Structure 1
Amino acid sequence: MKGWTVCRMHGAGGGHGPGKANPAYKHGMRTREAQEMRKDINEHVRLARALETLVGHER
């Protein structure tokens, strides 16, 4: 449509919000919070393995 930057049928800003209010929400494993937590845990594991290598202990 003239004068609009998005289609009136498929325009931006619609849809459901994030989190438990979203009908597609199932278990929360893919939430931003869960993904950030996994990144932090993986970083701690990498640091622990590097420290273990420096100390000289092998698995």
Structure 2
Amino acid sequence: MTAPLKMVVFAKDSAENVSKLTYITVVKADVTPPNKPAVNKVDDNDKVVTGKAEANSTVTV
């Protein structure tokens, strides 16, 4: 993505009604990838994987 980027944002409900449009401009894109996540020890008895990652990032296992 190159900045500035113009975007149109709207909401749509289950009945397909669309809100008024909101126009935004992204002035600086985040092009820095997050640091690798820190993962706590996992063994064959664990049902979840825990650890830490950058705030608001998505971690996929």
Q: What TM-score, normalized to structure 1?
A: 0.22
- Between Structure 1 and Structure 2, the one with more strand by share is 2
Q: Which has the larger radius of gyration?
A: 1
Q: When you count helix as a share of all residues, which structure comes out higher?
A: 1
Question: TM-score, normalized by length of structure 2?
Answer: 0.21
Q: Which has the higher contact order (CA 8 A, sep 6+)?
A: 2
